[in-house]
Amino acid sequence: MLERFGVSIEKKILERFDAYIKKHGYQNRSEALRDLMRDKFVEEEWKEEGGEAVATLTLVYNHSARQLSEKLTDLQHEYGALIISTLHVHLNHHDCLEVLVMKGPTKDIKQAASYLLATKGVKHGKLVKTGKELI
């Protein structure tokens, strides 16, 4: 169900918001505001103690680096309960790209992501945090 509400706001902020909307291709202010609110809610969920969420972790690594593939696989088995799906792409002769979909306690996801990203030989990566019950 949709509810309408009025907002009083400084002209300069609204102008900047409209420029943001245009730049990002939103059809109207309502849709942009909904997305900004959801993004903030997700951010809050990740800060809460004992929260649960979903995330994707992207990793790029050189598979020929010494024992790296084994180390990453060992870590993934250690956090097996968190990882619900993985995608592996052989990027070129040396590099692999992996995307792990994780679901569970935010604390555990952050810890697993930190260990995986900090593993020697991982060239780049990023954790994208989202919510499991977005409204």
Task: From 1-9, 74-82, 90-98, 101-109, give the range in contact with Ni ion by CB under 5 A.
Answer: 90-98
Asked if 59 interacts with Ni ion (CB under 5 A), we say no
Sheet strands side by side (includes 122-130): 83-90, 95-105, 52-62, 122-130
Least gap, CB of 90 to Ni ion (angstroms): 4
Asked if 90 interacts with Ni ion (CB under 5 A), we say yes
Interacting residue with Ni ion among 32, 96, 109, 116 (CB under 5 A): 96
Q: Rank residues 81 and 91 by Cβ distance to Ni ion and give the closer one.
A: 91
SS3 for 27? Answer: coil
* SS3 of the chain: helix, strand, coil, percent, to 5: 40, 30, 30
Residue 51 phi/psi, 5-degree rounding, is -75, 160
Q: Rank residues 33 and 68 by Cβ distance to Ni ion and give the closer one.
A: 68
Which positions touch Ni ion (CB under 5 A)?
90, 96
